[in-house]
Structure formats: structure tokens, C-alpha cells
Amino acid sequence: MVSVLKRVLIGKPIATAEEGHQRLKKRVALPIFASDAMSSTAYATDEILIVLLIQAGAGAVAFDKLVPLAIVVAVLLVIVILSYRQTIHAYPSGGGAYIVSKVNLGPLPSLVAGASLLTDYILTVAVSVAGGVLAMQSAFGFDSSVRVPFGLALIALLTVANLRGLRESGALFAPPTYLYIAMLAILIVVGLYRVYFRDLGPIPVSRLLGDAHDPEEVKELMEGAKTLSLFMLLRAFSSGAVALSGVEAVSNGVQTFRKPESRNAATTLAIMGGVLGTGFLGISLLASKLKPFRGENDATGIALMAEHVFGGKNAPFWIIQFATFGILVLAANTAYAGFPALSSIIARDGYLPRQMSNRGDKLVFSNGILFLAAAAALLIIVFRGNITALIPLYAFGVFTGFTLSQAGMVAHHFREREPRWRLSTAINGLGAVCTGVVALVVVVSKFSKGAWIPAVLIPALVLAFRAVHSHYAKVRASVQVEPGYRAQRHTHTVVILVGSVHRGVLDAVQYARELAPDRLIAVSVVTGPEEQEALAHAWEAYDIPIPVHTILSPYRELSRPVLEYLDELDAEMQDDVMTVIIPEFVTQWKTQWLHNQSAFALKARLLYRPNTVVTSVPVLVAGKHDE
Amino acid sequence: MVSVLKRVLIGKPIATAEEGHQRLKKRVALPIFASDAMSSTAYATDEILIVLLIQAGAGAVAFDKLVPLAIVVAVLLVIVILSYRQTIHAYPSGGGAYIVSKVNLGPLPSLVAGASLLTDYILTVAVSVAGGVLAMQSAFGFDSSVRVPFGLALIALLTVANLRGLRESGALFAPPTYLYIAMLAILIVVGLYRVYFRDLGPIPVSRLLGDAHDPEEVKELMEGAKTLSLFMLLRAFSSGAVALSGVEAVSNGVQTFRKPESRNAATTLAIMGGVLGTGFLGISLLASKLKPFRGENDATGIALMAEHVFGGKNAPFWIIQFATFGILVLAANTAYAGFPALSSIIARDGYLPRQMSNRGDKLVFSNGILFLAAAAALLIIVFRGNITALIPLYAFGVFTGFTLSQAGMVAHHFREREPRWRLSTAINGLGAVCTGVVALVVVVSKFSKGAWIPAVLIPALVLAFRAVHSHYAKVRASVQVEPGYRAQRHTHTVVILVGSVHRGVLDAVQYARELAPDRLIAVSVVTGPEEQEALAHAWEAYDIPIPVHTILSPYRELSRPVLEYLDELDAEMQDDVMTVIIPEFVTQWKTQWLHNQSAFALKARLLYRPNTVVTSVPVLVAGKHDE
């Protein structure tokens, strides 16, 4: 049943063939790598405003601080992009934070980077999905209770698509990404033109009202004027810093670019940085003029501003909302490629369970995809699909990854001493220090708002990585033997588990006899003397040439009496290997659950019995091949 | 992990010993068998009133009809009890509806009876738990949203207690049952005394108000005077008829009574009927005078009347509420004994999956208990713990069981022609006709209120029973062979699945060689040439005396390439039996999941491969025995 369901959802297996190594033009690569980073412009400005207006109560001052904060974020963006251009040139085969810190800083930092990145991917899915849902909520005005089911449906859709082997292609990524960039540009240009040359004023407070707010409350918020503490300013900055999430993507995928790969990748990264920085600054500038206020339950700033600038819920408004939804869903999708790939690398290094590195039928790392989906779904449920609640969890992992990656680059430059290594060291050093400070600012300023979660989770993950690694190492060591090791010749006892006498039992007896064991005995659990006699009678009638031992178990218990009997047999002979043969009925999948349940429980217990081999002899039932 | 959790929740296994065959005195047996039947007095009167007042809008007329309806129910009770006294004498070893109809009416009626009874047991749990929760709600006045979690907690408690092997004992059942009977008697006697000799009037409308009702609405209900249609009267009667659920319990347990069993059981049944009938009539009479009105969200009629009669929420009030809670929980508990016992009998007859007849470590039918708990929990969730919503589902199964049981008795008397068989036939015939008519009345009058659910479920269950039975029969037939059948000698190919070379592999190779197969080959799946070379190197270094075949699978796929290779091997030889040996790492339970996941998937697929035997050779890892 599971396998049929799997086929319907996932489709036919893909034959084990080489993955296509198509090289990408810059204009195709840009949307694939930029969607994640660009998508943060959809919510970063709103999140700054929520901190300043609601949490800090700064009122009108909030809008004055928006542009300065955006400029600081943009400067940080420039530093990070310059840093990553170094990484691209140094690691043309792909330089994610995990690999760069593993090569240059050693295992522990690489595990911290790995844990940060995995946490990040999960949050990318949760935050982007929540943002996408909010974009639709802004357009259609549905109730907030729809958020969780809508978000879970999106995650389910992305999960099935990726289990089916969805590839990140230009055809998929280009239209929504370019459309979003274009619409953002139009909104900013038209908006600023109308503000500066047509005297467009702020959005009237009456238009800001969602169901959740009464006019007085909103007015109070907009006019409030508590002094803005440095702490609150830093917290607001931390919200803006999420705009940088995703800029590292290009450095992971250098080898997918056309030759010269590094130069093309570096150029793409620069273009992406330019578009992202301009977009974020532009939106923040426009917001400082139009004063959109989302609150935690209402329309996004972009939706409010689009409606105000374009004069209503007209075509441009709808296009911008759908493009926002589209790019956010794509951003979530990038994590579906990144998370399984990274976890498979970590699993191959022995820090995660080996099954994370197994590819499924579609050559995707199914376990990684399923884990990511489950974790993101959990976040959506716990935080009720509320993006503002999720944001404080987000930036810490991003900037921890940045810091370790750049610190690794500094070590790299010191070691390699390539031409102009001092300049390179200075750039990456600046990057490492800045992003490290930001990571610290984020965790401190948002600790109580949720940043404690990654601050606890990432070290816990690192400990888990090490525990898994040491377990595998211990197992490897414990089964390691020197060449020359010889397994001993054993005494072979074969025990056949018998219910009633049928073809399967006779076949199993024949099979067991051909194994030429030293002792061969059948064993049967009966509930009473009548069953015992019936069995003895059948044994004689069928002339079965091996002895049968019956165990009386009035309540049809199977496992315990059989195990006790095996112990008895074992005690009779030194150096005994016990092979337990269990005939198992094999029927169609839809009736398979009606069989072998007791045998299954017994097998699970026998696995833990020393020197015991379990052999399943299938009893094919007629009709099985009708399937 | 599962097994540790199981130990903590369920306790140590009980050794396979005979169940105690202690014989019960009548005064000990009465509470055990009567709690289920008696407990229905806690809600049956309320449910009649809800139909008459809310659904029919009969106003004051409702209270006039209460006593006549109760008398009809009491007459029906007398008929059913007379009928069951016949069954007790005819089947001293226990005569449940399933067995009586199987013996006398044949398989199909017995399956209908079985399905009805199983449905019933589930509803007994759901209804009794909902009633128990309501008794507490009436006392403490908590919010209705607490009902579902409270109900689920009770079900969880009952489930764990029964999985732990809770036995139905007098010590458990006597105190709440006798306390409830005593308190009910006091309430009726004191109440009627105050009504008739102290002019106690009806409960004032202002006291009937719960949060859910406004005074006008209640007043309107109490004074409404729509004409009472026959249909509504029958529907009200159907609600009252649930009072009869559980009276059949004694007939199932005749052999637990002291000698002479049948006479003692029949006496106990008569006493139970007397107490139940008197209690139900008394409460209904009192209610017709005090006019309590529960509505669907407020205090029960018994709670309202107790407060009114005893003059406040004083000690007698609290005792009656806790006694009500106690007897309802016990009533639910009786189903925890009945359901698993019946389903195990049906499973032994081959109509339910065999695992329903397996006893767990505590000698209880764990699967039956878990299934019952899950089904009852589902009902509590779906119907929001609302007893009034559950009642329409209840009586149909009860009366279908009665009907088939009595019809079976009629057939029995015709066949056996014992002394005075004509009288016995008349009694059981009357019972069968009356209960059959009631079953019909219930299903028709409450069809739209939920009675359609058992009306659909019971036939569906019967179809499922037959499907399971025919599947087992087909399987039995397909593996049946005549004495003289000889399994053929096969060519034995043994394939050992190898990852890297370690002690487990060397042991497995030795084991395989001792099986003396015709062909022996190791097979290994490698992801690239380096792995291939490393394996070849190790093979040589360890001087392993069998050939190894490597399969290149760049993406670490295991199952497909191995199966393809087995097909190749198979094609080389006619009449080949393929034994696949899989060395499996065995570690402590808490790390076991880190191993053998791919092997597990492969084993599942190999099970379906014809002529393929799967042998698991355990590789015990050092430290395993630390556990």
C-alpha cells in the first residue's frame, strides 16, 4: 500500500544516470541563485517597522530611522558580497560554509557551520512560506486562521514536487524572479516620482486598519514617541539583516556557471548584490514617505504601498502580490535543494545518520527532503504561520555561517599566500568581524523574542553530530579485525518454526535439510492438547523426516516460549550457532498485514539474541502474482 | 526505545499461568455485571427530555410524557430480562449474542451480532466517558472545551490500566456501584417525600440557566407546546431505550458464578433488572415533578435534582456526582474486557485478523484494547465529547444484538424441545420481536441524528469479516498439499551482501560456506572506482576464499542494482534457490536506528522475490551488552 501511494505521489523511478551537467548563462543563473536573497525584500522593511513601531513605540521617529538602518544593512551587504567574491575565486568547485570551515578551521567550526546552515534552510522554508501566505492574505484578505493550513499545503506541495525530482531550472525560476524585480522597480520608481513630483502623501490611517486594530490604537502607534533606545535600534537592525540571507548561494554553485566559472559567478553575485541592495533601499525610502504599517495581522507594507501608489487594487497591485508569492515559494524551494545536499555531505563525513546520504528512486535525498519538510511544518504550526514570530529565529544561523565561512577564508589566505593575499585577508577579515558582530547583535537583541532557539539548537545539533560520529567510529572499531582473522567452525542447529503443516512448511523442511546442519528440529507453539495431537498426526501423515517439538502456550504467546526453548537447546551444545527458519506468507500488499505479525515480533527479538541467524523462507500464496 | 516505554507504561510481563478461576458470590458479581446497565440511569432520562423539549418543542407536555415512556422502557426491560434468563439456563458456559446466534442461526447472523456488539462496546466507552465527564462538569462547572481533553485522558487511563492487566474484581467494582445505587435511592426517596409531603415545587427556571442559555429561551422551551408527533415520541423512547444497554452482560459470564451457576446468575440478573427498572422509573418520576432541564451544555438532571432536593451543593450533592462519575468510568471499563474478548473469539473463527487473538505480555489482548481505545477516542473527538450527539448511535447495535440472541434462543428451543419449551419459545419469541421492533424504531426515528452510522457500519463490518475469512480460507487452500508431497531438491546459490570488510563479513562468509551451497558469491554496491579498488584490496588482504562481485551505483542506490544482479544470477541456472545473507549490525536500542536502514528496505523487497530466502546474520557490536 505504501509503495503504491509512493508511486502515485512520486512517480516512476529515474534510472541511475548521470545528472545533467548543463552549464548556465549568467542571466539564467541569476534568478536561480538570487530568488532566495531577493525575496527577503518582501518582508525585511516591514519587520524593521514592526520593531520600531510596536515593540519600541517610537511612533513617527520610526519612519525617520528606516533609511539610515537600510543604509547600514546595504553597507553590510557590500562587505559580505566582496567577501564571498573571494570565496568564489578560491573555491571554484563550490565553497559552502561547511566545506570552507572544514578545510581551513577544522572539524568543530565546520560542524557549527553545518548546524547553522541546516537550521537556516529550515527557517528559509518556514519564513518564505509564511511570507508567501501573507502576500496572498494581503491580496485576498482572508482570515488569519487560514495561514497554518495554507502554509502546510504549500510545504506539502514543495515536498512532493522535490521528491518527484524537481530540478532547479531557469525555466522555473526566471519568470517569477524577473517579474518580481521588475514590479519592485516599477513600484519604487512610480512611488518616488509621485511622492516627490506629485506630492503623494502618506497612506491615511483609515486605510491601515485591519480587523485586528481599532483606529485609536493605530493612531497612537503612529504618533507615539517613546525615546528609541540603542537596544531597540539594534533589534530593528537585526530584523533588517535578514535581507542578507541567501547571498551565499552563488558560492555553493560556482561549477554550474559557464566558463570562466569563477568570473561569471562573481559577476552574477555582484549583480545580485546590486539589485538586492537597490531594491531594499528603494522600498525602505518609499516606506519612510508613505508610512505603511502592517501590524502583525494585516496587509504587508508592499501591498499597502502598491495599492496607494497605483491607486487601488488594480492590475499592477495583483501582479505585484502574485510575483511576491511566487518568489517566496521559489525561495523556500531553494532550501529543498540545499538542505538535503548539505545533510548528505555531513552524513558522508559520518556526522549524520547514514540514511541521510541515501538517494531515493528519483535520485533525490528523500530523507533530507522529508526531514526538512517536517521541521518547517512544525515551525509553521508552532508559530501559527506568523512571519514576525519566525524572523528572530532566522538571522543568527545566517550570520554564524557567514562568520565561519569568512574566518575560514582568512585562514586560507594565510596558508596559501596567493598574490595580493594581504588585501584578500583584509576583505575577508572585515567580513568575518562584521558578520560576527551582527550574529552577536542578533542573538542578544532578539534573545527573548526567539533567538534563544537557534542559540540552543545549533550547539545541540553539534553535540548530536559528534555523538553520531563517535558511535559510527566505535562500531567501526569494534568490528575491525586484522587480516588473518578466521571465523570458527560452529555447530549448526537449525530450528524451523511451524504453525500447521502446509506446503510452506514442507518446503522449509526440505530447504533446511539441504543446509546440512548438525541438528535440525521443528518447533511449534500450540494452545492445547488437541492442537498438539493434530500436529503430531499431520507430522506422521506427511511423513516429515525431522523431529518436532511442541510448546504448550495456552494464551498463544509466541516469542517468550520460543526464546526459552532456544535457550534450552543452546545449553546442550557449546559453540552452537542457531539458525531459526521462519516460513513467511507472502500475499498481495493489501492483505500482507493479515500475516506474519507474530513472526515479525519474534524476528525483532531474535535479532538481539547472540549467535542467532534468522532465515525467512517465503511461502508464496497463489494469487500473489495477480497483483 | 519503544520497548522501554512499553515497560514503564505496562509493567513487567505476567508469566503464562492459568487465569484465576475464582468463583464469585452474587453480591460480588452484581456490581461487576451491573455497573454498565445501572450507569445508563445517569443519562437516559435527560436524553428523553432533550428530545421532547428541544427537538420536539413539547414544553410542559414533555414532563407529562416522561413517566409513561419510562414505564414502556421498564416493560421492555422485564421482557429482555425474562429472555436472558432463558439464555443463562441454556448456555451455562456463557452465551453472548455472537455465540448463541452462531450455534443456532448460522454464520451470517452471528457476524451481524458480532459487528453489533463490537460497535456497542466502542459506544459504551465513548458514551460512558462522555457521561462521566458531564457529571464532573455538572459539579465543577468547567468550560465545555475541557470535555474532549478530559475524555481522552480518561480513555488513556483506562487503556493503560487494562494493558497492565487490570482485572474486573469486586474490590474495584463494588464501592462505586453500590454507592451510586444507594445515592440514587436516597435521592429518589427524599425527593419524592419532599415533593408529595413537603410540597417541593419544580426547579425554578433561574436555576436551570447555564452560560449557554438566555432566560427567555429556556422559558420558551419549558412553556412551548408544539403537538407531540408519534415520530418524536418514538425518538424520545429510543433515547430511553439505551437504559437497557449492558443487561446482557450477565449471560456472558455465567461460569464465573458460584454453583449452581445458572441459578445464581439468573437471580443476579433479576436483581439487577429490579434495581435498574426501579431506579430508572424513580428518577423519571422525580424528574416529571422537579422538571430539571439540562439542555446540551449544562448540568445533568441528576445534578440539578440533587441540588434542589438536598438544598444546595452540599455533601450529598458531591457524593452523588462522584458516584455517578465512578460508575460511568466502570461502565466504560467493562467494554475494555468485553471488546477484546469478543474480537479474539471472532479472530479465532477466522473473521478478524489473527493478531486480534494474540495475547500481550500481560495476557490481555493488547491489540483489541488499543483498537477499542482508538475508536472510542475518535468518537469523543468527532462528537466533541457531547453525550447527546453520541446517544443516537448507541441503541441500534444494542437491540440488534438482543434480537439475534433471542431469535437464536427460539431456534434453540425448537431444536432441543426441552421440558416447557413452548413457554420458553414464547418468552424468547416475544423478546426477539420486541427488541427487533425497538431496533427498527431506533434506526428510523434517529436516522438523521446519527443512527445511520451504525446502520452503515455494522453491514460494512460484516463484509469486512467475510473478506478476512475468505482471504484466510484462500491462503489455507493455496498452501494445502496432499500427504506424499515432496519438495524438490534445488540448486543453492548463496549471495552475501557486503559493505566494507569487517568481522561481521568474515563471520558471514564462514557461516555461508558451512551451508555448503552450490554457488557462493559476495556482492557489494560501490559508488565509484576508488571504493571498488579498496574493496578488492581488502578482499585480497583478508584472503577471503569466495569471489566478490561489485556493482557500481554512483548514487548509493542499493535495492535496485542488487535485485537486477540477482536476476542475472538466477537466469544462469534452472531451479535455483537464492539465499541472500545480510549481515546486520546489532547495537543498543538507542542507536539501532543508525544502522541497517538500507538493508531493511532491501529485505522488504526480497520478501516478494520468488524462490528467495533472506538470512540475517547479526553482527554484534561491542558494548551491546552494556544495555
Instruction: For chain A, give the number of residues.
Output: 627
| Residue in B472, B481, B593 nearest the CB of A503 | B481
* Helical axes B107-140 vs B366-382, angle rounded to 10°: 60
Residues of B in contact with A503 (CB under 8 A): 479-481, 485
What pLDDT is recorded for position A215?
Answer: 67
Neighbours of A429 (CB within 10 A): 16
Chain A residues lying within 8 Å of B539, measured CB to CB = none
Output phi, psi for A613, to 5 deg: -105, 135
The pLDDT score that the predictor gives to residue B18 is 42
pLDDT in tens, A138-189: 888 887 788 888 999 999 999 988 888 777 677 788 888 999 999 999 999 9
**B374 to chain A, closest Cα gap in Å:** 19
Subunit contact A556:B357, Cβ cutoff 8 A: yes
B502 to A480: CB separation less than 8 angstroms, yes or no:
yes
Q: What is the mean pLDDT of residues B193-204?
A: 87
Amino acid of residue A155: I
> For A484-535, what is each residue's pLDDT tens digit?
777 777 788 999 998 888 888 888 888 888 887 888 999 998 888 888 999 9
Residues A36-52 pLDDT 10s: 899 999 999 988 988 88
> How many residues are listed for chain B in this entry?
627
Q: How many other β-carbons are positioned within 10 Å of the β-carbon of residue B122?
A: 25
Q: Show the cell assigned to B535.
A: 574493496
Enter the C-alpha cell of residue A235: 533589534
Nearest to A548 by CA among A532, A525, A524: A524
Q: Which of B481, B587, B608 sits opposite A586 (nearest CB)?
A: B608
Closest to A212 measured CA to CA, from A137, A287, A284, A152: A137
pLDDT tens per residue, range B479-517: 888 777 777 777 889 999 988 888 888 888 888 888 878
* Within this chain, domains B22-470 and B491-626 share the same CATH topology: no
Residue-wise pLDDT tens digits, B154-175: 999 999 888 887 776 777 888 8
pLDDT digits (tens, 9 = 90+) for A279-293: 999 999 999 999 887
User: For residue B370, how far is the Cα from the chain centroid?
Assistant: 8
Task: With beta carbons under 8 A apart, name residues in chain B contacting A608.
Answer: 586, 618
Does B503 sit within 8 Å of A358, measured CB to CB? no
Q: Which residues contact B111 (CB under 8 A, 6 or more apart)?
A: B351, B461, B462, B465, B466
Helices (H), A226-310: 230-241, 249-252, 261-290, 301-310
Cα distance between residue A189 and residue A181, in whole Å: 12
How far apart CA A518 and CA B416 sit, in angstroms, is 59
What is the CB-side half-sphere exposure of residue A137 using CA atoms within 13 A? 28
Measured between beta carbons, which residues in chain B are less than 8 angstroms from residue A357? 556
In contact, B352 and B368? CB cutoff 8 Å? no
Mutate to test the interface with A, among B19, B492, B501, B514 (most CBs of A within 10 A): B514
Question: Is the CB of residue A104 less than 8 Å from the CB of residue A307?
Answer: no
Higher-pLDDT residue of B203, B580:
B580
Residues in chain A closer than 8 A to B600 (CB atoms)? none
* C-alpha to C-alpha distance for B187 and B320, rounded to whole angstroms: 9
CATH class of A491-626: alpha beta
A460 confidence band (pLDDT: 50, 70, 90): very high
Cβ pair B607:A584 closer than 8 A: yes
pLDDT digits (tens, 9 = 90+) for B92-142: 877 788 988 998 999 999 999 999 999 999 999 999 999 999 999 888 888
Q: How far is B162 from chain A (nearest CA, A)?
A: 17
| Contact between B594 and A510 using a beta-carbon 8 Å cutoff | no
Task: Spell out the alpha helix ranges (H) of B198-260.
Answer: 215-223, 230-241, 249-252
Identify all chain B residues contacting A478, using CB atoms and an 8 Å cutoff. 621-623
* Partners of residue A607 in chain B, C-beta under 8 Å: 584, 586, 616, 618
| Placement of cell 588473518 in the chain | A484
Distance from CA of B542 to the nearest CA of A (A): 4
Instruction: Name the residue among A359, A593, A618 with its Cβ closest to that of B557.
Output: A359
pLDDT in tens, A564-623: 999 998 888 878 888 999 888 877 767 677 676 777 788 888 888 888 888 888 887 765
**Cell numbers for A73:** 544593512
- Position A16 scores a pLDDT of 42
Tell me the C-alpha distance between A527 and B243, whole Å: 39
- Listed in order, strand segments (DSSP E) in A448-603 are 491-498, 519-526, 548-552, 576-586
Residue A551 bridge partners (DSSP): A525
pLDDT tens-digit profile of A57-91? 777 788 888 999 999 999 999 999 999 988 888 88
First to last CA, chain B: 12
pLDDT category at B16 given cuts 50, 70, 90 is very low
The Cα A48–Cα A119 span in angstroms is 22
- Testing the interface with B: which of A478, A513, A614 to mutate, by most B Cβ within 10 A? A478
- The structural domains of chain B, with segments of one domain joined by +, span 22-470, 491-626
List the single best residue of A594, A595, A598, A606 to mutate versus B (max B Cβ within 10 A).
A594
Distance from C-alpha of B424 to C-alpha of B427, rounded to nearest angstrom: 5
Q: Is the pLDDT of residue A276 over 50?
A: yes
CB contact under 8 A, B16 and A585: no
- What percentage of chain A reaches a pLDDT higher than 90? 32
Q: Are B621 and A479 in contact (CB under 8 A)?
A: yes
Phi/psi of residue B27, nearest 5 degrees:
-75, -15
Mean pLDDT across B326-352: 90
Residue with the larger pLDDT of the pair A516 and A125: A125
For residue B284, pLDDT beyond 50: yes
Nearest C-alpha neighbor of A336 from the set A497, A188, A159, A598: A159
- Name the 3-class secondary structure at B450: coil
Q: Please tell me the predicted confidence (pLDDT) of residue A281.
A: 94
Lowest model confidence (mean pLDDT) among A94-98, A596-600, B37-41: A596-600
> How close, in Å, is residue B415 to chain A by CA atoms?
29
Residue B250: what pLDDT? Answer: 83
List pLDDT tens digits, range A288-309: 999 887 765 578 899 999 999 9
Of A358, A503, A597, the CB nearest to B479: A503
Residues A392, A450: contact at Cβ < 8 Å? Answer: yes
Q: Name the residue among A362, A378, A371 with its Cα closest to residue A343.
A: A371
Nearest to residue A418, comparing CAs of A85, A86, A80, A97? A86
- Whether A121 shows a pLDDT value over 90: the answer reads yes
| Nearest-neighbour CA in chain A from B510: distance (Å) | 6
Question: What is the per-residue pLDDT for B69?
Answer: 92
Of B358, B476, B555, the CB nearest to A363: B555
Closest-CA residue of chain A to B507: A487
- Cα distance from A297 to chain B (closest Cα, Å)? 26
| Bridge pairing between strands B519-526 and B548-552 | parallel
- Number of neighbours of residue A470 by Cβ within 10 angstroms: 12
Q: How far is B13 from chain A (nearest CA, A)?
A: 10
Percent of chain B with pLDDT over 90: 32
Compute the distance between CA of residue A182 and CA of residue A174 in angstroms, rounded to an integer: 12
Task: Report, as an integer, the average pLDDT of B427-442.
Answer: 90
Q: Do A516 and B516 make contact, defined as CB atoms within 8 angstroms?
A: yes
Please check the confidence at residue A19 and state whether its pLDDT lies above 60: no
pLDDT band at A210 (very low <50, low <70, confident <90, very high): low
pLDDT at B499: 83
Look at residue A485 in the predicted model and tell me its pLDDT: 79
- What is the least distance, in Å, from the CA of A66 to any CA of chain B? 45
Q: Which chain A residues contact residue B591 at CB under 8 A? A: 471
Residue type, B548: V
CA distance A345 to A103: 14
**pLDDT tens, residue by residue, B207-224:** 665 555 566 767 777 777
Name the phi and psi angles at B550, rounded to 5. Answer: -105, 140
**For residues A529-546, b (16+ Cβ closer than 10 Å) or e, as one string?**
eebeeebeebbeebebee
pLDDT of res. B8: 63
Mean pLDDT of A263-278: 91
SS3 B40: helix
Three cell numbers written together for A627: 497483483
CA distance A4 to A10: 10
Taking the C-alpha atoms of residue B129 and residue B124, their distance in angstroms, rounded to an integer, is 8
In terms of CA atoms, which chain A residue is nearest residue B347?
A594
Instruction: Please tell me the predicted confidence (pLDDT) of residue A26.
Output: 84
pLDDT of A528 reads 84
Q: State which H helix or E strand residue B619 sits in.
A: strand B612-620
CB-nearest to B607 from A16, A515, A616 is A616
CATH number of the B22-470 domain: 1.20.1740.10
Q: Report d(CA A400, CA A248) in Å as an integer.
A: 12
Residue in chain A lying closest to B488 (CA)? A510
* Interface contacts A/B by beta carbons within 8 Å: 197
Task: Report d(CA B605, CA B35) in Å as an integer.
Answer: 51
> Considering only alpha carbons, which residue of chain B is nearest residue A482?
B542
Least CB–CB distance from A490: residue in B514, B612, B619: B514
The amino acid sitting at B134 is L
The CA distance from A77 to A274, in Å, is 9
Residue B4: burial class (beta carbons within 10 Å; 0-12, 13-18, 19+): exposed
Q: Do B481 and A471 touch (CB under 8 A)?
A: no
B297 pLDDT tier (thresholds 50, 70, 90): low
Single out the residue of A95, A118, A106, A105 nearest to residue A464, CA to CA. A118
- Residue A10 confidence (pLDDT): 61
**Average pLDDT, rounded, for chain B:** 85
Q: What is the pLDDT of residue B129?
A: 96
Round the average pLDDT of chain A to a whole number and report it: 85
Tell me if A623 and B474 make a contact (CB, 8 A cut-off).
yes
Could you read off the pLDDT of A215-239 as tens digits, one per residue? 676 777 777 767 788 888 888 889 8
Instruction: Write the pLDDT tens digit of every residue in A440-451.
Output: 988 888 888 888
ipTM of the complex: 0.71
From the list B498, B493, B490, the residue with the least C-alpha distance to B617 is: B498
- CB nearest to B556's CB, from A358, A483, A503: A358
Q: How far is B188 from chain A (nearest CA, A)?
A: 47
User: What SS3 state is found at B583?
Assistant: strand
Q: Which fold has domain A23-470?
A: Amino acid/polyamine transporter I (1.20.1740)
DSSP A498: E
CA distance B34 to chain A (A): 28
Between CA B118 and CA B126, with CA B122 as vertex, the angle to 5 degrees is 165
Confidence of residue A7 (pLDDT cuts 50, 70, 90): low
- Measured between beta carbons, which residues in chain B are less than 8 angstroms from residue A13? 560
Shortest Cα–Cα distance, A546 to chain B (Å): 14
